Structure 1
């Protein structure tokens, strides 16, 4: 139970980083493609407000804040899978304390980056091919496929960011 709490705490952090990254990329793409920073986040609120939300360009509490919060909750949801399957969970610190280990686990960026990419790919497939249209992220209503790719790349990097930073710190400590 304690391990699950740690995973949830980490998921809130990595999900928040991912949520801010995806919202930022979506907003800049919306400005570039539609002249509106708010349009992609507004479109995300279609889950609650229906298709009408995707047609609003101006920022508003009703559409923009709702879209931002839905995106944020979604990224925390996906982060829980990342943390459970790929997150470090303090493994390096635990391994250093074991008396029978000759050296600490090697520092690698491969696992967190590949893990983030795997979870983002799963999120894309599930969000756009398995669930009903009403529950899609909504970004696709206001940004291009190229921008959608950038949004999911931001999700992947955001999920892995904490572990990548931890690995970098660990690497520099060993030097």
Structure 2
């Protein structure tokens, strides 16, 4: 039970980082592409409000806040998979492990990055090729493919960010 709580707690943290980062990137891309920071988040609320949401440019509680919360919940959902993968592997989480040669093994940077990339790739495939269009993230209704790629890159980096910060902190404390 403690392990499950730990995974959930970590998912909320890494999902929050990722959710905030993807919302920021989507908003900046929206401003650049359509002149509206709110448009991509508004489009996300199409899940609840229908296609009318994707046509909204102005920030509002109805569309923008709903879209932000849906994006945030989605990021935490995907973070739960990231954290479950991390808990199963255990790499990058325990500093000071000792190899069979007796040398300390520093946490590896690539493990969190690869897990983040794998989860973001799965999110893309599921979000855009497996579920009904009504439940897609909605960013695609207002943003270019290039911006979408940056958003999924941001999702991956956001998922790994807390682990990367922990690794950097562990490395600093050893020097």
Contact 2:91 2:107 in 1 (8 A): no
Contact 1:42 1:56 in 2 (8 A): yes
**In the TM superposition, what is the alpha-carbon distance from 1:172 to its structure 2 partner?**
1.4
**In the TM superposition, what is the alpha-carbon distance from 1:85 to its structure 2 partner?**
0.1
**In the TM superposition, what is the alpha-carbon distance from 1:9 to its structure 2 partner?**
0.2
Query: What is the match of residue 83 of structure 1?
Result: 83
| Matches for 1:20-39 after TM superposition, within 5 Å | 20-39=20-39
Per the normalisation by structure 1, the TM-score is 0.93
Query: What is the match of residue 46 of structure 2?
Result: 46
For the residues of structure 1 that align with 2:91 and 2:49, how far apart are their CA atoms? 38
Partner deviation per Cα, 1:141-160 (whole Å, 9 max, x = no partner): 00000000000011000000
1:5 aligns with 2:29: no
For the residues of structure 2 that align with 1:71 and 1:111, how far apart are their CA atoms? 25
Residue segments in structure 1 that go unaligned for 5+ positions in a row: none
For the residues of structure 1 that align with 2:72 and 2:79, how far apart are their CA atoms? 10
Query: What is the match of residue 149 of structure 2?
Result: 149
For the residues of structure 2 that align with 1:101 and 1:58, how far apart are their CA atoms? 61
Relative distance call for 1:107 and 1:91 in structure 2 (3 A) is: closer
Per the normalisation by structure 2, the TM-score is 0.93
For the residues of structure 2 that align with 1:114 and 1:64, how far apart are their CA atoms? 31
**In the TM superposition, what is the alpha-carbon distance from 1:108 to its structure 2 partner?**
1.3
Displaced runs of 4 or more, over 2 A? 86-91, 93-96, 100-107
**What is the number of equivalent residue pairs in this alignment?**
172
Contact 1:79 1:159 in 2 (8 A): yes
Contact 2:95 2:107 in 1 (8 A): no
Residue segments in structure 2 that go unaligned for 5+ positions in a row: none
